[in-house]
Structure 1
Amino acid sequence: MKIRIVSKREEIDKLDANEKIIHLAFRPSNEDVFNLVKKCKDVEVIQIPTSYRRTVSKSIEMFLDMQNIKLIEGDVWGHRKDINEYYTISTAIAGRITDLRSEGISDDVIADKLSREGKLNKEMLFYILSQG
């Protein structure tokens, strides 16, 4: 699973229309979010840093909710965009999820455990868990 990193609003127009998970590394305006959803018809998740989450308007939250797009908080720790525009969620995490599920562990406990072990936050882990 890959997360497309967008560092500047100017990059929105250059995105692949099939992107599903996008991390906005800048403080998005309402217009930025509308342009992103218009450009990427298949987007399922928009992740923004916690410090920017408080500035997202209620109207954008409602718009994303109506579009069935999850708005989650989080960062992509240690990622260097100058090397790769995608942050790849390791297959080790998928394997770990499978192992923990086979032990009968609940998704809540898995998300807690993996958020402490890795670089992903709970909200992103819940999304990954819902996909598998």
Structure 2
Amino acid sequence: MKIRVVSSREEIFTLNPNERIVHLAFRPSNKDIFGLVETCPKVEVIQLPKSYMRTVSKSIEMFLQMQRIQLIEGDVWGHRKDINEYYSISPSIIEKIKEMKIEGKSTEEIEKRVSRESKLNFEMVAYILNKETSA
């Protein structure tokens, strides 16, 4: 699973329209988010760093809800954009989530443990859990 890292507003309009998970590494305006949704109609998740989450307007939150796009808080730890424009979530993390689900672990337990071990936030783990176990 890959997260497309976007580090500037100019980059939004050059994205592949099939992107599903996008991390915005800059403080987006309402216009930036509308542009992202327009450029990538298949987007399912927009991830923002914690400091930027607080500045997202209620109207954008409602717009994303209506579009069924999750707005989640999180970082892409140790990612270097100059080397790769995607942050990859290791297949071993996805396998661990699947294994724990098969073992009958609760959603909360899986989110807590995988989040602690992988540096992914709870919401991203929950997204992977829903996406991978429903596929």
**TM-score under structure 1 length normalisation:** 0.98
2:121 aligned with 1:127, yes or no? no
**CA offsets per residue over residues 96-118 of structure 1, 9 Å max, x none?**
11221121101110000011111
Is the 8 Å Cα contact of residues 98 and 129 (structure 2) preserved in structure 1?
no
Give the distance between the partners of 2:25 and 2:18, measured in 1 at CA: 19
Ranges in structure 2 where 5+ consecutive residues have no aligned partner: none
Deviation (angstroms), 1:90: 0.3
The TM-score, its normalising length taken from structure 2, stands at 0.96
SS of 1:82's equivalent in the other structure is coil
Aligned residues: 132
Partner of 1:45: 45
Tell me by how many angstroms 1:48 deviates: 0.2
CA distance in 2, matches of 1:18, 1:122: 25
Gaps of 5+ in 1: none
Per-residue displacement from partner, 1:53-85 (whole Å, max 9, x unpaired)? 000000000000000000000000000000000
**1:1-132 paired onto structure 2 within 5 Å:** 1-132=1-132
Percent of pairs with identical residues: 64
AA at the equivalent of 1:30 = N
